[in-house]
Amino acid sequence: MDTASAPPLAAPLDIAFDYTRSLGPVLGRFMTGLRDRRVLGARTADGRVHVPPLEYDPATHAPVTELVPVPPTGTVTSWTWTDQPLDGQPLDRPFGWALIRLDGADTALLHAVDAGTRESMRTGMRVRIRWAAERSGHIRDIACFEPDPGPPRASGSATGGDPATASDLDTSGDPDTSNGAGTSGDLSTSGELVTGITTPIRLSYTHTTSAEESRYLHALSEGRLLGQRCPACRKVYVPPRVCPADGVPTEEEVPVHDHGTVTTFCVVNVPFAGQRLDPPYVVAQVLLDGADIPIPHLILGAAGEVRMGMRVAAVWRDPATWSTTPENIAHFRPTGEPDAPYESYQEHL
C-alpha cells in the first residue's frame, strides 16, 4: 500500500493499579468511624467542623486533633443529576451527585443521593446516610444518601444561616443510636484502627500514532523497516519522528536494513509488575545499518555471549501474523559476523 498516505493508527491503552493510601491519624479515625457507622468531623481553631475532616487547619496550619461526631442526616446544598451512571460509581441507576452538609458540620461532603428521579432532587432537601452492609473503613462504607422523611433539625437550614452549628452540635442524644452503633460522644472504636485503604485506579486511553509512526508501522506490517531522514541534520531516524534535535518533521523515507550492531545492552535479571518476559533476558540498543539512532530490542540465542559491537539480525515472526506492530520482529539473533569496531558506533552511546 501507499504508506505515505497511511491513516493514523489507534488502539486502546488501559492501565490499572491498586494504589494504597496510608491515612494518618485524622483520616484513619474518620475511616474507622465510617466502618462503625459513625461520621466524625474535624474541628478547627475557629470552631468550624469540617466533614470530611481536614488534616491541617487551613487558617492556623496546625494539625487537627479534635474530631467530633456528627449525625447521619444532612441537607443538600447543591446538586447535579446523572442519568447514565458509570462503572464504579456508587449507584447503578440514575442518581444525584450532591454536596451534603451534615447536621452540625460547616462544610459539605460530595456523595450520591438515591432520589429515584431528577424531579425528586432539590437544594435544601433532607437526606440521610444509607450505610453499606459490608464496611471496611472506606468512604464507600456510605453506600449513598437517601431522602430523609424526618423533621429538619434547627441547625440544618439550606442557607446555613447559623455559623455556630459546631457549638450547637447535640452530642447528648447520639443520632447514631438508631443505627445501633456507638454511644453518645464516645469516639472509642470497637475494633482495630483503620490505617490504610486500597484505591484501585483504572485509566483508559485511546493511543493514536503520529503520521510518521503510522507509515513506519504500516511498513512493518509488510516486513519492511522504514527510516526517515531529517532535512536539517540529515540524520536517519528509526522509527521516524519529528526530529528531536531540530524540531522539524522528517519527510524523506529511507529503507533501513534489518541487520545491525549492538551498541550497548543490559541483562535484565529482575522480575517486576507487568513484566511480559521471564528474566533473565537481554535488552540491547541495536544500531540498524543505515540508521543514526539505535532501537532497543531483545537479543536471544546468545546467552552470555552478547557484547558491545556484536552484529545481529532481526528474527521476523511468521508473515501470516504480521500486523502494524514492532512485535513482528520477535527478537534479534547474532549473525556470526566479526564484531563492529568500537569506533564505528561510539558516537551512538
Partner 1 sequence: MRRAAVLGTGQTQHQTRRTDVSMAGLCREAIDRALADAGVDWPQIDAVVLGKAPDLFEGVMMPELFLADALGAAGRPLLRVHTAGSVGGATGVVATSLVRAGVHQRVLAVAFEKQSESNAMWALSIQPPFTAPIGAGAGGYFAPHVRAYIRRSNAPEHVGAMVAVKDRRNGALNPNAHLRQPEITLESVQASPMLWDPIRYDETCPSSDGACAMVIGDQAAAEASERPVAWIRATAMRTEPTYFAGKDHVNPRAGAEAAQALWQAAGITDPLAEVDVAEIYVPFSWFEPMWLENLGFAEAGHGWKLTESGETQIGGRLPVNPSGGVLCSNPIGASGMLRFAEAARQVMGRAGEHQVAGAKTALGHAYGGGSQFFSMWVVSDTAGR
List binders of partner 1 among 150-169 (CB under 8 A).
Answer: none
Which of 46, 289, 305, 327 forms a contact with partner 1 (CB under 8 A)? 327
Compare residues 118 and 241 and give the one whose CB is closer to partner 1.
Answer: 241
**Under rule CB under 8 A, residue 219 binds partner 1:** no
> DSSP label at 193?
P
Query: Binding-site residue total for partner 1 (CB under 8 A)?
Result: 73
- Cell numbers placing 65: 486533633
Which of 130, 135, 140, 235 forms a contact with partner 1 (CB under 8 A)? 235
Q: Does residue 32 contact residue 186 with C-beta atoms inside 8 Å?
A: no
Which of 45, 59, 110, 154 forms a contact with partner 1 (CB under 8 A)? 59
Contacts of 179 (CB under 8 A, 6+ apart): 37, 72, 131
Which of 244, 255, 301, 341 forms a contact with partner 1 (CB under 8 A)? 244
- Cell numbers placing 215: 507509515
Classify 312 as helix, strand or coil.
strand
Compare residues 155 and 285 and give the one whose CB is closer to partner 1.
Answer: 285
Per-residue string for binding with partner 1, 248-287, x by CB under 8 A?
A: ---------------xxxxxxxx-xxxxxx-----xxx--
> Using CB under 8 A, which residues numbered 65 to 104 contact partner 1?
none
Tell me how far CA of residue 25 lies from CA of 31, 54, 135, 154, 199, in angstroms.
10, 11, 19, 32, 18
The secondary structure of the chain in percent helix, strand, coil, rounded to multiples of 5, reads 15, 35, 50
> Using CB under 8 A, which residues numbered 163 to 202 contact partner 1?
195-196, 199, 201
> DSSP label at 100?
E
Which of 47, 163, 231, 296 forms a contact with partner 1 (CB under 8 A)? 296
Minimum distance between the CB of residue 327 and partner 1, rounded to whole angstroms?
Answer: 6
Q: Does residue 116 contact residue 134 with C-beta atoms inside 8 Å?
A: no
**Under rule CB under 8 A, residue 224 binds partner 1:** no
> Using CB under 8 A, which residues numbered 39 to 58 contact partner 1?
54-58
What's CA 175's distance to the chain center, in Å? 38
104: nearest Cα among 45, 171, 59: 171
> Using CB under 8 A, which residues numbered 19 to 38 contact partner 1?
19-27
122-130, 136-144, 159-167, 209-217 -> range binding partner 1 (CB under 8 A): 209-217
